[in-house]
Structure 1
Amino acid sequence: MKKFSIIAALAALALPSAASTQTAFPLKMTGQHGSLVKGKTRVAIASYGINFIVAQKGTAVAGVGLNSRVVTGLSGVDEATMRRLANEGYADLKAQLAAAGLTLVSEAETRGAIQQAGTVLLPGNTESNRDGGITIGKGVKKASVAYGADGAPLTDIYPASGKAGGFGMLAAIGKVNKLAAPGKALDTILLFPLLTVDYADTEAKQTRTLTGARRGIVETNVAFGIRMQSPVNVVNPGYMAGAFYPSKDVWVDTPFSKGATEMTAMANDSAYMMNVLKEQKAGNVAVDLPAWTALVKDAYRAYNASIVAILKDLKAKG
């Protein structure tokens, strides 16, 4: 069996080329490379998932014991809704691929290749993710939950958190190599899209006051966005593996929540000026479910459209 090139896999992640689609979410993708589709005539969706960020905490340190912190959580969205949206996103990608004239491998054939390769499906077709560790200085930690489509469930090959990088690719090489024989037999590339959507943008920063005292500020602005951590991992069986993904986070101004749309906490360390402050804020971001659901649908349509546009472009270039 011909092994995948680790160098080629990492190179595919680093390439700066881009493609865009004109949608409500003006996504620009980066990382795509002609080798991802070279020699294959069909497309198989091996896995399709949506990763929903459901909580986040921003911390900025002004001094010993003087931290500013904002903690929020998404509320008003149930598991059934998230699973349904993952299934709808998968169905939309299939429809867009077909409309673009790209030949799609059936679910039965795709599942057969996955099983033949010994790929492990994630229990319950879901995975919870948290950014762990301690905060020194400043930082933002997020928690998310990913759900896969019933017809293209999540696997253990790529992280369901949406994180991507050289080490992740290296860890996946052994599992990817096992897809070579069944994938080549189907004459197909295999797609593993994972869309990450967020409900707020949190920024933590450290500054100085006019008197030179240390200050920590955390700002959380409620907004709907597609995160860069939305990779489209691609396996070209017997040849190489790589990925493309949004070149930056993309946000829209459409309202979807009830209550406050921003929270700010501040900490100052200025004992000389008698100004010692430690501020922490917490709250739930309660969603208007129809409005939020509509935004998720807009997001997966734009994400899927970008995938289709890139595949068409790469195939046209040969």
Structure 2
Amino acid sequence: MFNNTSKMLFMTSMLMGIIMSISSNNWLVVWCGLEISLISMIPMMSMFSKLMITSESTMKYFIIQTISSSMLMMSMLTMIMKGDYNYSFMLTTSLMMKTGMAPFHNWVLTVIEGLQPTTMFIMLTINKIAPLTLMSYLIENITLAICITLLAGSIMGMNQNSIKKLIGYSSIFNMGLIIIVIKSNLMWMFYLIIYSTILFMLILNIKENKMTFINQSMFMESLTKKMFLWINLLSMGGMPPLMGFSIKYMTLNQLILMKCTLLASILVVSSLLVMFFYLRITFTSIMNNSIMKKTMIKKLNNNNNWISSMNMFTTPMILLTKSFN
């Protein structure tokens, strides 16, 4: 009971910090909101798990966020004292470090390995709202960082067997896509909501089946559970006609309208690489005939099945993206 109350208290405190950061026009209040969010996140990481690796991940997360917060404060004070807004590059760099964009992405992979799925979801989605909102206000051109992020998230995720690392590389890749449309407030928020929904469905599936590595899906007894895991993985990879395809289509369409041919080409190539490693994982599991023959299709009575079926609602999503153009 005490544990649940503490979790609710820290979660509320974290949300208050995020709201404070995104609603204030004072840089000092923005920084305070980010710190409240960080201080609330640290105990939540430890409360969900008592393992030694969790303590290590918590310490790494704290150190990285402290360094980025120090850079953020230094750049803000410099801009305020000198009245020179050319220091916004340092501000952007600190926010890139906070969100886990390349080339500051390695900490994401080491931290999530020691986290429970629930905490991992919070770190990869909710905790990024405030830094992304701040980045949408800045005018720095970080096209090179976007390209590196897209390529790092797609290429380095190809040989992964750990589900957490796979989710980590997908998060890095999707961060690049979000930054592409960051100047359009409605579009990047819509992207983050859809990505969070897909990730939430995948994490529910992982928690229910107690999966750590991808090859464990071959030994799942229920074919129904396998099918919904495949749908979630393919949606995360952006396979049409699933939900994950709609957000990639939206981003590519935006780049074409902006006439960013090179970035659009890199997006297409990196998206194909991401789709390839998700397809490889899925088909490896499907083609394991010796296991498939022993499975029986059970009645669809799982509470998470209706959530996973949301991945099929792609056509309305694509129609909705037209309203952002």
> Quick check: TM above 0.5?
no
Higher RCO (CA < 8 A, seq sep 6+): 1
Structure 1 or 2: larger strand share? Answer: 1
Looking at CA atoms only, which structure, 1 or 2, has the larger radius of gyration? 1
Instruction: Return the TM-score normalized by structure 1.
Output: 0.29
Instruction: Return the TM-score normalized by structure 2.
Output: 0.29
